[in-house]
């Protein structure tokens, strides 16, 4: 079985090491070689692409069949090596269904700033107007999202903006995929628009006051952080929205308005990455753009999902 090329590993690792593209175990890349598709395994990190075996080989046709509705959509039965204990990414079906040799999916901050906002989405449509891009409304990662993607792409589509989620780019080669993704990043790039220097003014026992404490001191942004979740990985790693006080379920992050943002001692690197993600995203949201949460039904669907629990458990190790 032919392994993916060195440039694919390097590209994957570079995306994984950039917190403005990928946070913690989020994002995934794939490469199709003949009948085989190599896809990032669930719970692994793209940043490790050059140092650890994070990719798993699946039967491309079988994964495509799952994307079309056969099986449960997890693609766990499409893994070629029966001795392999890694599960393919929960997003394997869209990688299989997109008919391009290289597919890369990130939770790009530049994309997210536009994709969580109704005003931002309109701006992004204009910024990407001459590129082969489509916009896909929010759907739960896995088969529901794959169905929404497949309903909108054509054979020419190379850019998919996932509303309230992220970015997918496709290409014939790694270089082409990298280039088109960079083009999207350049066009959607947003400056930091808020004062992010304000530190926490109080301490909290059992918690660390984090560098993202500015959120608590900006009334508009604090309100946004407390009133909803804007993309799936926030819910998966931090729970729905953010609470203002500790409670029985031991929330990893607490926001005390006008005081600070607090990360529970012993929190995972994924949880730390997700609070930075929220800060990176909301600090770039223009004052005249609103942000649209995914809603409580979508949050509940994410939290009751076995595949996500599996991902949470892996990331916590
Ligand atoms: Zn994703």
* pLDDT tens, residue by residue, 213-253: 999 999 999 999 999 999 999 999 999 889 999 988 899 99
**Rounded to 5 degrees, what are φ and ψ at 89?**
-45, 145
C-alpha span between 148 and 136 (Å, rounded)? 6
CA–centroid distance, residue 26 to ligand 1 (Å): 6
pLDDT one-digit tens code per residue, 175-202: 999 999 999 999 999 999 999 999 999 9
- Is residue 138 a contact partner of residue 164, using CB atoms and an 8 Å limit? yes
* Å from CA of 25 to ligand 1 middle: 10
Å from CA of 233 to ligand 1 middle: 8
What Cα–Cα distance (Å) separates residue 85 from each residue in 26, 53, 80, 81, 172?
Answer: 20, 12, 11, 9, 30
CA of 258 to the centre of ligand 1 (A): 32
**Distance between CA atoms of 53 and 249, rounded to whole angstroms?**
34
pLDDT (average), residues 63-91: 92
DSSP assignment, residue 8?
A: H
The token pair at 139 is 């759907």
How far, in Å, from the CA of 169 to the mean position of ligand 1? 12
Tokens of 163: 């509303």
Q: What mean pLDDT is reported for the chain?
A: 94
Centroid of ligand 1 to alpha carbon of 218 (angstroms) = 28
* Ligand 1 midpoint to CA 205 (Å): 34
3-class DSSP state for residue 74?
Answer: coil
User: Separation of 107 CA from ligand 1 center, angstroms?
Assistant: 6
Give the Å distance between the CA of 133 and the centre of ligand 1.
17
**Distance, CA of 8 to CA of 226 (rounded, Å):** 39
- For the chain, strand residue ranges (E) read 28-33, 36-40, 55-59, 102-106, 133-136, 159-162, 166-171, 207-209, 253-256, 260-264
Distance 116 CA to ligand 1 centre (A): 14
Q: How far is the CA of 206 from the centre of ligand 1 (A)?
A: 31
Q: Distance from the CA of 231 to the center of ligand 1, in angstroms?
A: 9
- Supply the pTM of this predicted model: 0.94
CA distances to 200, 201, 223, 227, 254 from 257, in Å: 10, 11, 9, 13, 10
Q: How confident is the model at residue 317 (pLDDT cuts 50, 70, 90)?
A: very low
From-to residues of CATH 3.40.225.10 in the chain: 6-188
What's the 192 CA to ligand 1 centre distance in angstroms?
23
pLDDT at 300 over 90: no
Cα–Cα distance, 275 to 215 (Å, whole number): 10
Instruction: Please give the distance, rounded to the nearest whole angstrom, from the Cα atom of residue 199 to the centre of ligand 1.
Output: 31
The CATH superfamily holding the domain 6-188 is Class II aldolase/adducin N-terminal domain (3.40.225.10)
- Alpha carbon of 105 to ligand 1 centroid (Å): 7
Distances (CA, A) of 16 to 21, 27, 106, 185, 190: 7, 8, 9, 15, 20
Q: Ligand 1 center to residue 36 CA distance, Å?
A: 22
CA pair distance 133, 26, nearest whole angstrom = 22
Phi, psi of 25 (to 5 degrees): -85, 15
Instruction: Round to whole Å and give the CA distance between 158 and 160.
Output: 7
What secondary structure does DSSP assign to 232-258, as a single string?
HHHHHHH-SS--SS--TT--SEEEETT
Find the 244 Cα to ligand 1 centroid distance in Å: 27
More confident residue, 265 or 306: 265
Q: What is the pLDDT of residue 241?
A: 87
> 235 C-alpha to center of ligand 1: Å?
12
Tell me, in angstroms, the distance from the centre of ligand 1 to residue 75's CA.
16
What are the Cα distances from residue 121, in Å, to 19, 112, 156, 285, 288?
Answer: 22, 10, 21, 12, 13
- Secondary-structure breakdown of the chain: helix, strand, coil percentages, each rounded to the nearest 5: 40, 15, 45
């Amino acid at each position: 079985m032919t392994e993916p090329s060195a440039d694919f590993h390097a590209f994957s690792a570079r995306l994984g090491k950039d917190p403005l593209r990928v946070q913690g175990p989020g994002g995934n890349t794939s490469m199709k070689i003949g009948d085989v598709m190599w896809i990032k395994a669930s719970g692994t990190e793209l940043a490790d692409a050059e140092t650890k075996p994070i990719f798993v080989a699946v039967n491309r046709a079988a994964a495509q069949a799952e994307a079309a509705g056969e099986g449960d959509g997890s693609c766990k039965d499409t893994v070629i090596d029966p001795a392999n204990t890694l599960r393919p990414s929960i997003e394997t079906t869209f990688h299989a269904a997109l008919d391009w040799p290289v597919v890369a999916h990130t939770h790009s901050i530049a994309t997210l700033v536009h994709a969580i906002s109704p005003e931002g989405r309109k701006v992004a449509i204009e910024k990407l107007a001459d590129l082969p891009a489509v916009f896909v409304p929010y759907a739960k990662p896995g088969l529901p999202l794959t169905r929404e993607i497949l309903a909108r792409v054509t054979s020419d589509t190379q850019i998919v903006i996932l509303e309230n989620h992220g970015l997918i780019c496709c290409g014939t080669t790694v270089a082409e995929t990298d280039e088109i993704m960079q083009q999207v990043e350049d066009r959607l790039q947003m400056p930091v628009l808020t004062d992010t220097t304000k530190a926490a003014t109080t301490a909290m026992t059992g918690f660390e006051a984090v560098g993202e404490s500015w959120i608590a001191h900006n009334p508009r942004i604090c309100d946004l952080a407390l009133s909803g979740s804007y993309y799936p990985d926030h819910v998966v790693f931090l729970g729905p929205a953010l609470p203002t006080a500790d409670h029985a379920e031991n929330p990893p992050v607490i926001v005390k308005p006008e005081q600070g943002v607090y990360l529970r001692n012993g929190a995972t690197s994924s949880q730390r990455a997700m609070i930075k993600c929220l800060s990176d995203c909301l600090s770039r949201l223009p004052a005249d753009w609103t942000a649209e949460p995914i809603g409580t039904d979508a949050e509940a669907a994410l939290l009751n999902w076995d595949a996500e629990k599996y991902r949470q458990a892996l990331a916590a190790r």
